[in-house]
Amino acid sequence: MITKKKAANGFEYIEIENNSATAKVALQGGHLFHYQQQGKKPLLWLSPKSHFEIGKAIRGGIPLCWPWFGKHRTDPTLPQHGFARISAFELLESNEPDENTTELVFKLQSSAEILVLWPYQFQLFLRITIGPTLTVALTTRNCDTKSFTITSALHSYFAVSYISYVSVQGLEKVEYWDSLTDDTKIQKGSIHISEEVDRVYQKTTGPLLLLDSDRTIKIVRDGSCSAVVWNPWKDKSAKMADMQDDAYKTMLCIETANAMGDARKLAPGEEHTLKMTLSEYV
């Protein structure tokens, strides 16, 4: 079942329910902010203090960082993580091929307003498949007469039981840029979080596992050779208006990305798809 909802402040979202899972996707940003398999806990973390307002990004779920990841390379006045997450997407298609699966396709394209921020003609398609697994695929199409380069991320906030209990496997021996110290390091063993972490792992394509005390989440990536791992820890959580002070204890971002050296240059007419599939095991 697909239900269109509109909050009193005009914020629009879509509720999905099928035999496998429930989900919620906001039209602003094509932002999936809830996914839960029937009978299980939510897969994604969502801040109870999040904004659900036009022009403000939701804190949690899967914000789309596009067409740049992080700060804009040359103009710090432009929005962090690009404009997609605060832009109005259109719902192009919704299908229920069987009782376990719902497919949604959203679209964002260049407009006079967006051309001021990014001077290229583009189409961006977001395909979300909600079933026993969750698949998110973001396709960029260059509709311009000149090439452009994008960096991006499926900025996934995972819900965890307690941050000290979790580990991330699949990035062993991978080189990463540590944004907190601005240097490059090599990952030793699996990742355990006991302080602020903000890293871009590079030249990595294999599946990632988020091991928690009561479940394992598997992230399978396609069209991506970089991954971001972020936890704001105590001080930064306390400083962020849309996060509770202790929010860092129950979330971890593992982002399927095209960041840094994994930027993608698209010639006129070319397309690129950044895709991930999330599954959960007990």
Task: List the catalytic residues.
Answer: 155, 255
Q: Does 198 bind ligand BG6 (CB under 6 A)?
A: yes
Cβ atoms of residues 257 and 69 within 8 Å: yes
Q: Does 3 bind ligand BG6 (CB under 6 A)?
A: no
Tokens of 58: 């939701």
Pick one of 24, 34, 127, 155: the residue that binds ligand BG6 (CB under 6 A).
155
Q: Does 181 bind ligand BG6 (CB under 6 A)?
A: no
Please report how close the Cβ of residue 102 comes to ligand BG6 at its closest, in angstroms.
Answer: 27
Pick one of 118, 120, 230, 248: the residue that binds ligand BG6 (CB under 6 A).
230
Please report how close the Cβ of residue 36 comes to ligand BG6 at its closest, in angstroms.
Answer: 22
Exposed/middle/buried for residue 123 (C-beta within 10 Å: 0-12, 13-18, 19+): middle
Q: Does 81 bind ligand BG6 (CB under 6 A)?
A: yes
Q: Which is nearer to ligand BG6, 130 or 228 (CB)?
A: 228
Q: 44: which residues sit within 8 A by CB, 6+ positions away? A: 32, 33, 34, 35, 60, 61, 62, 156, 157, 158, 159
Q: Does 280 bind ligand BG6 (CB under 6 A)?
A: no
Q: Is 89 left (phi over 0), alpha (psi -120 to 50) or beta?
A: beta
- Pick out residues in 117-136 that bind ligand BG6 (CB under 6 A): none
Exposed/middle/buried for residue 113 (C-beta within 10 Å: 0-12, 13-18, 19+): exposed
Q: 232: which residues sit within 8 A by CB, 6+ positions away? A: 196, 240, 243, 247, 248
Q: Does 89 bind ligand BG6 (CB under 6 A)?
A: no
Q: Does 80 bind ligand BG6 (CB under 6 A)?
A: yes
Give the binding site for ligand BG6 (CB under 6 A).
57, 70, 80-81, 155, 179, 198, 228, 230, 255
